[in-house]
Structure 1
Amino acid sequence: MEEAKVPHMKNHEEADLELFRYVKLSLDQEEIFHVLGFEFLQRYNLVWIQNKLIRIREGIRADLGQTCDEKNLSDALNEYSQAIRNYNLLRELKPLDQGSTEERKNLLKTSFPSLTSQCRWTKPFESHYYALKDNKANIDNLRKALRLLLPRHLTYSHGERLRRSREFEEGEPPHEISAVVDRASRLIVALVGGAFLIVPMLIMAINPGQTKSLVTASVSTLFFSCAVSLGFNSSNNEALVSTATYAAVLVVFVGITTTNSAQAPQ
């Protein structure tokens, strides 16, 4: 009896060792962790609970609920709701592309040979793969560009540099926005925003003319709309409202310069 337990204990220890090595390697080499989707099991669980609820409903309709187990019904409904939430939560994660999926499969196969040999009816690592959320800040394109262009010691905040020292040394981009990047972005927006108003007005004010003013206003509006749409994470409505407001300001100035030009002595 004792001899029969030895192979089982040995296999268990081997599996634990493989698990420990894999997790340690993941912590050392991967910042973002990846998980299997288990699509078959997720859907199997949903349909199983769904069929269970169908049978409960049939029983209630058959005897008008006289033999209904209310606790069993409540538990089944809670399980069904939780299963739906779990499945939706998983599907909200970022899926890996085909190349990355194959890399993960090969890595898991080499990391867990004992598990691979134990599975007779399934391929243990065949599934959709997802990357867990990395909690990166949702930033606009201008700040993203500044994070790449500015020196690394300026783009990392002090706290993130301490937490992600390895990524800092390897040249990985930061997740957070440092004070330097934020202030530089605000300064650029202030200067560019002022230039979008001052430059067209100067062009239209010097040797004013109707055609010149209309062309200047049209070109400036197009450039402004492109800058708002591409430089910031603005919605379609926000970009449209901003462009319309900017165009309205220029139209007022076009009217003023055109009127002054018409009233000027020939």
Structure 2
Amino acid sequence: MLDFFSPQRTSGRNDVENPGRVYVDFRDDRWTLDINLHNIITTISKQKTWAESIREKWHDITRSYRVNFAVLQRIYLAQLRERLVRQAVDLRFNREQPLGWADTLKEYIQALQDYDYMEKRSLLPGDPFYASGEQYLDRKLLEHVVGSRGDQLEKETRAVGRWETEAAEPPSIRDTRRDNYHRSWTQGFRRRIGVAAAGGALLVAPMWLMVLRNTLYTALVSTTAFVALFGLMAAIFLTSVMEVMSCTAAYAAVLVVFVGLTTENRMDV
């Protein structure tokens, strides 16, 4: 929750006592940090099953930290945005142009492009813009760097992914470029095989159903259900509205043609 500075309040930064409310004082250059301060580093905890809780020893470490580099980029964007606003105001109302406003604009555009890349990269496995305690090496590094200051962290989130219990270098660091390429190709090939299997099943399954139970009601219900399922999957995996619409329409057209053929054959019989 944001609150802004007012003349009735002399202290503009009470977020330490009340982390749920962040007071923004535009007279203080730290306001861009205040609105993101609690999201830079968070505490994470390992989610254990009942069996794991019994097996693990009492001294096993199940808490660590997570550093979000994307938050640092948001802070950088906010600082550039503030600088651009000030330079735009000076450009409008002063006779002389502010120094470096064109460079600031270029930096802002580049920072936006970098942040867009960060968002796209977050959709892929192994987000490099996190230093998180799920990985053994990151956990040891964070414990060393954060140290006793971790007690000051109040925001806590759940661990995502497997909690590593032994030191293991990431394959992308340990392997050669050829190994990384083959691993990426294999992972992509498996995903493509999965998509091909799902697409084939969505086409073959309703056709088999309409042939084995050759009734108009079965054809209409199966077509409606499978088109809805295909549209849902397209909405999940595709990002463009036009792509979702065109793919769903093409899939529906194939099933409608098959419904027409099966219905016509049944009437002829």
- Give the TM-score taking structure 1 as reference length: 0.46
Q: Which has the higher contact order (CA 8 A, sep 6+)?
A: 1
Larger radius of gyration: 1
Greater helix share, structure number: 1
